[in-house]
Amino acid sequence: MNVRISKEQKVKIANSQDVFNIMCAVLKRQSKFRRKQEYFWTIGLSTAHDIEYIELVALGRLNAVNVEPVELYSIAVQKRCKRILLVHNHPAGSLKPSKADLTVTQFLKTAAKLLKIELIDHLIISETGFFSFVDEGLML
Supply the pLDDT for residue 93. Answer: 86
- Residue spans of the domains in the chain: they are 1-49+57-75+94-125
> pTM value?
0.88
Contact 115, 78 (CB under 8 A): no
Q: Which residues of 88-102 are buried (b: 16+ CB within 10 A; e: fewer)?
A: bbbbeeebebeeebe
81-102 confidence digits (pLDDT tens): 999 999 999 998 899 999 999 9
pLDDT, tens digit (0-9, with 9 covering 90-100), for 52-79:
999 999 888 766 678 889 989 999 999 9
Q: How far apart are CA 36 and CA 13, in angstroms?
A: 27
pLDDT of residue 66: 82
What CATH number does the domain located at 1-49+57-75+94-125 have? 3.40.140
Say whether 119 sits in a helix, a strand or coil. Answer: strand
Read off the pLDDT band of 11 (50, 70, 90).
confident
